Structure 1
Amino acid sequence: MVASSIPAIALMDCDSFFASCEQLFNPALLNQPVCVMSSNNGCIVARSREAKELGVKMGMPVFQAKRLFPDVHYIAAKHDLYGEISARVMRVLSEFSPIIEIYSIDEAFIDLTGLEKTYKKSYLEIASDIRNAIKYKVGVPVSIGVSSTKVLAKLATRKAKKSHGIYKIDYQDIDNELMQTDLIDIWGMGNNTVTLLNQFGLHTAYEFVCQSENFINRTLGKKGMELKLELTGKSIYRISHEVSLPKSIQQTSSFGKFTSNEQYIKDSLYYHAHRACTKLRRLGQKTQTIGIMLRTKDFKVYSTKIALVYSTNWEFEIFESINKNFNDIFNPQVIYRSSGVILENLSEEYDSQLSLFDTLDIQIKQQNLAKAWDKLEAKYGNNVILIGDRNIKHC
């Protein structure tokens, strides 16, 4: 394969992302063992490097972790914070390449093909520049792997995390890399697939790609052949930078402490509605169905749905609906642990019918206010404008 025709695909993966966000948010946690707990504080969903070194396992029940590792900082997940920092990371990536596929909240593929000439730097140097820019502009550490296919870029990123944060698998080095790679370390190889291949005496990625097409087709089918091609440097899985729009948007979180305070719980719903509307506007969508949910201390869930006459992405219209229907699910004698808002029946903003009850001038003013709010939060962060009677940063 001619060098100029070989794609250059990078995978950026934020290191211990949720824990890194917490350390960024609270610098006192830097170089400290940090574990982020699931929304119901049931298990560990993220660990800082220091917590990993102590031996804390992913998915470990919190009660067990606290007993075995009492010196670790245990923090409830703040998904809005992580989403905000993720968006900042992705914006930095877009400064380097117009073709980006956001794979998850902390991972993205970047097409670097041809950018050597644009930047007059090697792909490894460009990856290093991206890594340094994210650390400087956002503040979280990332690892970046570069190769000619998505599967190899994923493998390179695994190796980057164990080296200096960047790693490149060149076309001529593929065989050597595969000889040192266990099957379980290949993106797309699950435990069942690895167990099956082990029964045939296959344990490394190199042993797998040396098998005949007939064997792979018979054993793993089409996906197996795609993996073989990707592992040998032939790009099958292209980077897709088209954003698929969601069918619904949900915002939920646990309270900092159990409560039956009516205003406190309402404020949390307002906050969730605002975060959901911010996402709606970013995607150019509106909603016509609102769901609100309260979960009690005993994990019972009470919820209701509200159908709107006209679709909207303006939070104050949604606040009004929350106020009208809140008492349908709220009981002041009950103690609650969490709340949530879900927006459904989504449509494109330009397809939405305008309300007959609001003049065009009022709707333009609402849009301008929403844009100003979004810009303020993009620049200064969430909670620059407080909603309700009190700040609800914990949500």
Structure 2
Amino acid sequence: MFAHIDADAFFASAIVRKNPRLYGKPLLALGMGGGCVIAASYEAKAFGVKTGMRLKDALQLCPQAIRMPADFHEAARASHEIEAILRTLCPLVEQMSVDEWYLDLRTLQGGIPQNVTAWARAQQENIHRKVGLTVSLGAGPTKLLAKMAGEYKKPAGTTVLGDTLDLEAFLKDRPAAAIPGIGRKRVVHTDAHGWKTAWDIAQAPAEELRKLFGKSGVELKEELLGNALYGVTSEEAPPKSVSRCRSFRPTKDKDYLWAQLLKHLEYIVLKMRRHDLSCKGISVWLRDNEYKGGGANASLPQPSHAADAILPFVRNCFERCYDPRMTYT
């Protein structure tokens, strides 16, 4: 049994933690330059604001939103505090990003709790009391299912597959796009085969999935069926490199692409700071609609983890990569 812990609206929540007067108000946490929303409070999300959205688009949806630059020091502190609590609970913790962790519940003292739901809610209450942030927690027989369960009822949701919810019922209730690894891009292919839900993909012929997505498609099916192929791995040494990539709807919009890149840079900078690392070089890569693409590299004059120092080199690489004739995804 695995658990997935995800801090809710993390960068916005970190600002509220430091400025309690903002609690309950629509808040936009902005990236470098202030042009990109890297997190929004749930009060802002209620108006349709999404992470990665350009500020001008977000303000059209929620003109009364409060705008504040993301506080990376506060976010790093909150991330450290949450992880410290998790590591006192469980010897095997895997950090996926600054606001996301996996736990192997089999390694808890005494093994998997008899009532996982009660255990999960107790941990959520403990984190909220000590750190001042809410987290959503999902648990399931595989890491994939635990992550899907954690994303099922945000914010502050608790979903335990096999405890509070039957696996088949859960997968029938989740669209194919909700599966990590499918997303909006690949759902075009699943729709073409009539696979509308996660359960449809779990029941799909393995060979068809292999033809569509390669080996990962078959492994995804197994994980959806509750067969754990991937375990929790704890990072023993600092990484030699850090990266972040995401897919999105096909677009030629340069401003949108730049906003996505800034969002990635925010996470990369925060991860470097967590590990007390600096970078000597950066790479930017854009993928086109045919899953091909190109990239550009740059060397820094001196190692740095300061966003302001790295940003000009990121901009230079982006300008070298971007082609207005291309559609990117």
Aligned to 2:301: 304
Q: Tell me if the contact between 2:5 and 2:100 (Cα under 8 Å) persists in the aligned partners.
A: yes
Aligned to 2:168: 175
Q: How many angstroms does 1:216 deviate by?
A: 2.0
Greater than 6 Å deviation, 4+ residue runs: 275-278
SS in 1 for 2:308: strand
Aligned to 1:55: 48
TM-score, scaled relative to structure 2 = 0.72
Q: Does 1:146 align with 2:146?
A: no
Q: CA–CA distance in 1 between the matches of 2:136 and 2:7?
A: 6
Q: CA–CA distance in 2 between the matches of 1:78 and 1:137?
A: 19
Aligned to 2:233: 240
What letter is aligned with 2:64? D
What letter is aligned with 2:22? L
Q: CA–CA distance in 1 between the matches of 2:274 and 2:79?
A: 15
TM-score, scaled relative to structure 1 = 0.61
Q: Tell me if the contact between 1:184 and 1:191 (Cα under 8 Å) persists in the aligned partners.
A: yes
Q: Does 1:166 align with 2:158?
A: yes
Q: Higher mean Cα deviation, 231-240 or 185-194?
A: 185-194
Aligned to 2:73: 80
Aligned to 1:20: 13
Q: How many angstroms does 1:30 deviate by?
A: 0.5
Q: Tell me if the contact between 2:29 and 2:39 (Cα under 8 Å) persists in the aligned partners.
A: yes
Percent of pairs identical after alignment? 29
What letter is aligned with 1:145? G
RMSD: 3.1
Q: Tell me if the contact between 1:18 and 1:36 (Cα under 8 Å) persists in the aligned partners.
A: yes
Q: CA–CA distance in 2 between the matches of 1:238 and 1:116?
A: 18
Q: How many angstroms does 1:116 deviate by?
A: 7.9
Q: CA–CA distance in 2 between the matches of 1:193 and 1:276?
A: 31
What is the 5 A alignment of 1:112-131?
Answer: 112-113=105-106, 115=108, 117=110, 121-131=114-124
Q: How many angstroms does 1:24 deviate by?
A: 0.4
Say if 1:182 and 1:32 are closer, same or farther in 2 by CA, change over 3 A: same
Q: CA–CA distance in 1 between the matches of 2:148 and 2:300?
A: 44
Larger Rg: 1
What is the 5 A alignment of 1:365-384?
Answer: none
Q: How many angstroms does 1:276 deviate by?
A: 7.2
Aligned to 1:10: 3
Q: CA–CA distance in 1 between the matches of 2:109 and 2:238?
A: 33
Say if 1:181 and 1:68 are closer, same or farther in 2 by CA, change over 3 A: closer
SS in 2 for 1:233: coil
Say if 1:83 and 1:212 are closer, same or farther in 2 by CA, change over 3 A: same
What letter is aligned with 1:305? Q
Alignment length (residue pairs): 265
Q: Tell me if the contact between 1:146 and 1:153 (Cα under 8 Å) persists in the aligned partners.
A: yes
Q: Which has the higher contact order (CA 8 A, sep 6+)?
A: 2
Aligned to 2:250: none
Q: CA–CA distance in 2 between the matches of 1:120 and 1:177?
A: 21
Q: Which runs of 5+ in 2 are unaligned?
A: 243-270, 282-297, 312-329
Match of 2:193 among 200, 204, 212: 200
Q: CA–CA distance in 2 between the matches of 1:233 and 1:208?
A: 13
What letter is aligned with 1:213? A
Q: Does 1:339 align with 2:308?
A: yes
Q: Tell me if the contact between 2:280 and 2:300 (Cα under 8 Å) persists in the aligned partners.
A: no
Say if 1:68 and 1:339 are closer, same or farther in 2 by CA, change over 3 A: same
